Chain A
Amino acid sequence: MTCRCNALCNCFIISSTTTIAEGNGSQYNPWNFRPSPVPNPRPFGYADLTNSITITPAGTPVVIRWNRSSDIIGNGNNCAVHSDGNMFEYDASNGGTKMVAPVDGLYLVGTTIGHSTSSADLTDNFFLRKNGVTTICQTSYVSNATAGAVNQLDSITTIQDLNAGDYIEVVVVRSNGAGNFSVLTYTSVDFGGFAGSSFWANWLGGPF
């Protein structure tokens, strides 16, 4: 009996037993044994923010540092561990800023940023930046005196071809206006939610 996905792997099963046959057409034939196309471990990373960060100077980009040592994993706040060591660059003392691609390929990357209360007119831009230079996706958060003080969450997602060693960071800048704002943890946003600032990436395929 042949494996239903024979066209892909060419394995077959001896009809009278469950033993996988050796020889031509079986998995023991090196020619037919195809290594997994998925890197092991599969590149993946997720980080969230456990300390709010105040963004003060207008026009000065701030690279978000995730999971800082003063409030790390296992703090009882339902803040899961996300420095899985595979993609997210992290150390216990300094936290980390970068998702580093371990292999060439196509990646899905995104971030959610929680913005603090402000009743002033200001515009905050946040973006994903590749290799410290290239902005690959961005969006704006606006507050104004008319609308009043309202916390807000915004999210951006994109895809990107990365080479091994390329890295992605989240950068926030108060681009204009009066007043300060903070990038918030999940404990700081409205409704007691669990969806505060976070940063994640997934390998999708490749190399191309």
Chain B
Amino acid sequence: MKNVLFDEGSKEFLLGSFGCSVDEEGYVFNDERQERVLTVDGSELEVRNFGALKKGSLKFIESDLGSLLSVVDDL
């Protein structure tokens, strides 16, 4: 298996695999900790800007090119 990809409409289902959901304002929410998840830059993540989930640890990456550069070698 080379890559694991997800389409726009699958984000919420995928997040559910990791104990996360989307709150009423459209942010990714950690259900166990009862708080919004943070990106590697420390900002809250809107689900529309969710671009990748890094292997190993739960690192959420935004969908802009600069942020996604951190996972380019995983492709």
Do A and B come from the same complex?
no
